[in-house]
A and B are shown apart, each in its own frame.
Chain A
Amino acid sequence: MFYREVGDFKTTYAADSQTFPIAFDRVRYYFVLIVAVLLVPFLIDDYWSNAVFVPLLVWSVAAIGLNILTGYCGQISLGTGGFMAVGAYACYKLSTEFPDLNIVFCILISGAITAAVGMLFGLPSLRIKGFYLAVATLAAQFFLVWLFNKVPWFYNYSASGQITMPERTIFGLAVTGPNVEPWAQYLICLAFVFGLAWAARNLTRGSLGRQWMAIRDMDIAAEIIGVDPLRAKLSAFAVSSFYVGVAGALYFSVYLGAVEVTEAFGINQSFLVLFMIIIGGLGSIFGSLVGAAFMVLLPIVLRNILTRGLNWDTALATHVEFMVVGCLIMFFLIAEPHGLAQLWNIAKQKLRLWPFPH
């Protein structure tokens, strides 16, 4: 009744391709934004910021990045953890070498550096595809982590091999370092997520995004109708790595503050992001956000039920968590290969017809 456009009276292309054609959706979208910007920062405390909101936002950026590469362009990557490490170390080096550089630019430049590295490791995609490429990206994962471990220049010759983020401010307000307020942490991540998600949504429905999707659906056919595979694939790697690099930089500088590369950016992180986009929905920006939320919240909920509710020890809870995640992946691939985003779309279609489905 309320969830429906009245007739189809579009007269411009802009009106035809708008993201939220239904008034209710637009209102809901602005409502979510207002709650996120004006309400949450006042309610947030240390636990909610560190355990829920900040990781959720950071992983969202990484998931959007991988979704651009895997969901839109069809190139599977298992090197996400390695690329996040590039972003983190670039951010560390930039902020310690140039202390006057604003942290926002630091993070953006880290993304650009990661994009360059990503393009380098994306070169093989011109020759190999499918899981050959997936395994090839494992080379990036292991090589990059090894590199950051072995070359002391990257961690400024610190004895522990850890990198620690110094305090940086925006307009005099600390956003990294030990004295940061939870709401400042939250807001800077939210700003990045909003900007990047908006950019991704508009990129993927433009000419470049359509080229990616053509390559994904069938690369030879795409080449025949005039899509340059070199440009399309490498641009997908570049954009995707930019996002992943920004996520890595945020993960290190805003969220954790200090990281050790093998722990923070191991192969498990690569899989985590892959799971996010499978569960959320391949080829959907909204799906990346939902998938990230799901994979961040699931362990928290499980752990709360198992260790707090049933008093199991944590090792046992971790094993169960692994099993549940594995089962969910298989379940989603069998039951709904397009993930939570597709369920959401189906619900919207039903709602459009409601209450007169025939």
Chain B
Amino acid sequence: MQQLLYLTEVSLNGLTTGVLYALVALGYVLIFKSSGVFNYAQGVMVLFAALTLVGLQRGQVPFAHLWTAVFGTHTYLFGWNLPAVVAIVMTLGVMVLLAILVERLVLKHLINQHPIVLFMATIGLAYFLEGFGDLMWGSDVKRLDIGLPVGISETIESFTAATFGYGVFVDRLDLFAGLVAAALVFALTVWLKHSQLGRTLRAVADDHQAALSVGISLRLVWVLVWSTAGFVALVAGVMWGAKSGVQFSLSLIALKALPVLMLGGFTSIRGAIVGGLIIGVGEKLFDFLMGPIIGGATESWFAYVLALVFLMFRPQGLYGEKIIERV
């Protein structure tokens, strides 16, 4: 019984990590669905959004180290603390600005290029953003605190302790993240299905040329979708940042969203969520069961190998559209 409960706890923790993976994966799906660009930089966008949020909230001077090196100013803080809501809105503004710039400076010039070229361009973007984010806000590990619930949920622990004689630990932040993810998915689905803009997005996703010919501005749609992905990145960044601090490893965690996508299928929002949950639970359980036998830290590769094996049997993923090729 004890073992079983412990297993449940491991799975529950896996589920909540999976939700966070799914949040990052959502950003990839949005961009891929509507522009066919596989945006490698999504992971770094998560980091960048979180960095910007913390920086704005704490009133850091952007590029402080650079100014110090060039002009010798030595001013690192403005000396104010913004309320969380204001900082979040401002960060959103920054992400929209980023989307506009990416469209203007990069994507516009790469229309009609091979998808692989676009993919490699986003790798370049990822490198740029990585350096830019660190240059702007400094590369030290930052604590993100915007008043989210943290710590062990005592209600659940005392409840399970009273009923089964074993207290199950669940982080309150994880529960909150699950709720936020559910709300986000619901909102995105409704938005894509029923709003004017959502319909436009889906039209572009279906067929670029047909969409152009009925008067849809491709460039506007790209800005829009990159902004949405920026928003999703911000949400993911807040959750991950509150959980493990804002630092460089955040963009590596985001790499995990790739196998999530492969498992779920690149074009499906539902796939991102289900894939995230499968990978989250899978890697925790695998490490729990197999870790002692083959040596721990299997979490670093399990997701990739799982996706690799899965793809051998179903190349389009769980919910992806069937890949049809013609000469």
Q: Which residues of A contact B (CB under 8 A)?
A: 76, 124, 127-128, 130-132, 134-136, 138-139, 142-143, 145-146, 149-151, 218, 220-221, 224, 267, 271, 274, 278, 310-313, 315-316, 318-330, 333-334, 337
A72-B255 Cα distance, complex, nearest whole Å? 27
> What is the number of residues of chain B that contact chain A, defined by CB distance less than 8 Å?
51
A221-B327 Cα distance, complex, nearest whole Å? 6
A135 contacts B304, C-beta separation under 8 Å:
yes
A154-B45 Cα distance, complex, nearest whole Å? 37
Q: What is the distance, in angstroms, from A289's C-beta to the closest C-beta of chain B? A: 20
Q: What is the distance, in angstroms, from B131's C-beta to the closest C-beta of chain A? A: 3
Question: B69's contact among A142, A151, A274, A310, by CB below 8 Å, is which?
Answer: A310
Inter-chain contacts of B132 with A (CB < 8 A): 319, 322-323
Q: What is the distance, in angstroms, from B267's C-beta to the closest C-beta of chain A? A: 12
Query: What are the nearest 9 A-B pairs in CB distance?
Result: A322-B131, A326-B128, A329-B124, A326-B127, A139-B304, A323-B131, A150-B295, A142-B301, A319-B135
A221-B325 Cα distance, complex, nearest whole Å? 11
> Is B298 engaged at the interface, CB distance under 8 Å to the other chain?
yes
* Residues from 102 to 127 in B contacting A, C-beta threshold 8 Å: 105-106, 109-110, 113, 115-117, 119-121, 123-127
B131 contacts A326, C-beta separation under 8 Å:
yes
B130 contacts A274, C-beta separation under 8 Å:
no
> Is B129 engaged at the interface, CB distance under 8 Å to the other chain?
yes
> Is B233 engaged at the interface, CB distance under 8 Å to the other chain?
no
A130 contacts B106, C-beta separation under 8 Å:
no
A324-B124 Cα distance, complex, nearest whole Å? 10
Q: What is the distance, in angstroms, from B170's C-beta to the closest C-beta of chain A? A: 28
Complex interface bits, B281-309 against A, C-beta within 8 A gives 1, otherwise 0: 00000000000001111101100110110
> Is B4 engaged at the interface, CB distance under 8 Å to the other chain?
no
Complex interface bits, B124-168 against A, C-beta within 8 A gives 1, otherwise 0: 111111111011000100000000000000000000000000000
Q: What is the distance, in angstroms, from B147's C-beta to the closest C-beta of chain A? A: 30
Inter-chain contacts of A322 with B (CB < 8 A): 127-128, 130-132, 134
- Report whether over half of chain A's contact residues are helix, strand or loop; otherwise say mixed: helix
Q: With A136-B307, A142-B300 in contact, is A333–B120 under 8 Å at CB?
A: yes
A337-B125 Cα distance, complex, nearest whole Å? 16
Q: What is the distance, in angstroms, from B38's C-beta to the closest C-beta of chain A? A: 5
A146 contacts B116, C-beta separation under 8 Å:
no
A132-B65 Cα distance, complex, nearest whole Å? 39
B325 contacts A220, C-beta separation under 8 Å:
yes
Inter-chain contacts of A145 with B (CB < 8 A): 300
A131-B262 Cα distance, complex, nearest whole Å? 10
Question: A146's contact among B38, B127, B130, B298, by CB below 8 Å, is which?
Answer: B298
A130 contacts B69, C-beta separation under 8 Å:
no
> Is B94 engaged at the interface, CB distance under 8 Å to the other chain?
no
Inter-chain contacts of B139 with A (CB < 8 A): 315, 319
Question: B125's contact among A136, A224, A274, A330, by CB below 8 Å, is which?
Answer: A330
A324-B119 Cα distance, complex, nearest whole Å? 18
Q: Which residues of B contact A (CB under 8 A)?
A: 38, 65-66, 69-70, 105-106, 109-110, 113, 115-117, 119-121, 123-132, 134-135, 139, 255, 258-259, 261-262, 294-298, 300-301, 304-305, 307-308, 311-312, 315, 325-327
A136 contacts B69, C-beta separation under 8 Å:
no
A338-B123 Cα distance, complex, nearest whole Å? 17
A333 contacts B115, C-beta separation under 8 Å:
no
A326 contacts B300, C-beta separation under 8 Å:
no
Question: B119's contact among A131, A142, A321, by CB below 8 Å, is which?
Answer: A131
Inter-chain contacts of B259 with A (CB < 8 A): 135, 138-139
B312 contacts A124, C-beta separation under 8 Å:
yes
Q: What is the distance, in angstroms, from A99's C-beta to the closest C-beta of chain B? A: 29
Closest chain A residue, CB of each to CB of B320: A132
Q: Which of B66, B116, B117, B124 has the most CB of A within 10 A?
A: B124
Inter-chain contacts of A142 with B (CB < 8 A): 300-301, 304
Inter-chain contacts of B119 with A (CB < 8 A): 76, 131, 134
A143 contacts B113, C-beta separation under 8 Å:
no
B124 contacts A127, C-beta separation under 8 Å:
no
A72-B291 Cα distance, complex, nearest whole Å? 40
Q: What is the distance, in angstroms, from A327's C-beta to the closest C-beta of chain B? A: 6
Question: A274's contact among B65, B109, B120, by CB below 8 Å, is which?
Answer: B120
